[in-house]
Structure 1
Amino acid sequence: MSPAPRPATRSTAELSALLQAVGRGDREAFARFYDATSSRVYGAVLRVLRDRGFSEECVQDVYLEVWQKAPTFSPEQGSPAAWLVTMAHRRAIDRVRSEQSRTDRESKYAMLDAAVGIHDTSDRFLDRRPVLDAMQELSGRQRECLFMAFFEGLTYAEAADRMGVPVSTMKSRIRSALAKMRVDPRVACLAE
């Protein structure tokens, strides 16, 4: 979804009224709000992501969030533009962190494969056995946290949300699980 062409700038009062109408489920107001603000949102996201495709996806996510959170918007707490740009910036930063997390995870898997000498995909299951064995020594919660982070590819925030715990708790569980696994010399490559 590309941003709409930039129409005449709307006042804060007009944007507030549109956003309040969106909060009541008014689709036409949503379309007008989008037309009035999407180029600013796209610019804010593009400055962070520096990729047009990712930026367009992120803008879609932002406006989905606008549709869902519009009922909670209060003009007394700030302008619609500030609320929207803050939301867009946070969403873009989350995307950067998610991509970095994915890249880090792929690097760890590559290091694991190199450490155990995997050259052929038929050997993958057998060579990962030490990691799976070491995971059996963990508590059920620790195993679940590692599984979500490394095998499902969830970010700390996504995994924490799924388990209903704070992000700091999720990070702590994963760190302690990895520390416990590093004791096993067969999985020492996890120390990187």
Structure 2
Amino acid sequence: MDPMSRFSVVPSGDESPEGPARPVQLEQLLRRAATGDETAFADLYDAVSSRLLGLVRRVVRDPAQSEEVTQEVFLEIWRHSARFDPSKGGAMSWMLTIAHRKAVDRVRSAEAARHRDEGYGASNQEVTHDSTAETVVERLDAERVHRALETLTAVQRQALELAYLSGYTHTEVATMLDLPLGTAKTRIRDGLIRLRDTLGVTL
């Protein structure tokens, strides 16, 4: 059973029910917790939870996230209490270091997520168009093409309209106009060349 399921982070002061926890007491509680002693861990939790939560809250700021991070801190303390080495510092300093690292990790993770969301929003933002201007341009282009088509011979215009406005293949155009395939292709090619010259674009 995960002993963390028994706890919730509630600010209650830096004291255990028996009074302020001394450094030696914290070290003893950590050593006992390392052996799987849940009672010792509960006493440790009561002794230091407010202080660790206070540090996390100063870094994370958001109260709900601060409580989540503090729970993560105690979970790491429970799982890795055997790693505590009193020769390298006191028990409280060791736990505060874990709390600070976890809090900073949460802030960095939140910042990274925010930047990803902003980047996604920027890259997927729809470009707004002036629909009125767009409509005018389309109409002008249509009028230019219509005028250009009028400059073609009747047979060229007929072949182009079938091929590019109605979507028929060259073979189908040849059949519909009762022409050899080569002749149909020539009319379409000549019509395109003339359109290109009239419109001043590359077709």
- Counterpart position of 1:29: 40
Separation in structure 2 between the aligned mates of residue 42 and residue 67 of structure 1, nearest angstrom: 16
The CA deviation at 1:2 is: 2.2
- Counterpart position of 2:71: 60
Match of 1:95 among 101, 106, 124: 106
Separation in structure 2 between the aligned mates of residue 63 and residue 10 of structure 1, nearest angstrom: 17
Cα RMSD between the aligned structures?
Answer: 1.4
Separation in structure 1 between the aligned mates of residue 117 and residue 102 of structure 2, nearest angstrom: 23
TM-score (norm 1): 0.58
Deviations 1:11-69 (A, max 9, x none): 11100000000111100000000000000000000000111100000000000000111
Structure 1: runs of 5 or more not aligned: 118-192
Matched, 1:39 2:39: no
Separation in structure 2 between the aligned mates of residue 97 and residue 28 of structure 1, nearest angstrom: 34
SS of match in other structure, 1:28 = helix
- Counterpart position of 2:10: 3
Separation in structure 2 between the aligned mates of residue 32 and residue 67 of structure 1, nearest angstrom: 12
Greater RCO between the two (CA within 8 Å, min separation 6)? 1
Structure 2: runs of 5 or more not aligned: 1-7, 129-203
Percentage of pairs with the same residue: 38
Task: Work out the number of aligned pairs and report it.
Answer: 117
Separation in structure 2 between the aligned mates of residue 3 and residue 16 of structure 1, nearest angstrom: 22
- Counterpart position of 1:112: 123
Structure (1 or 2) with the larger CA radius of gyration: 2
Task: Give the structure with the larger helix fraction.
Answer: 1
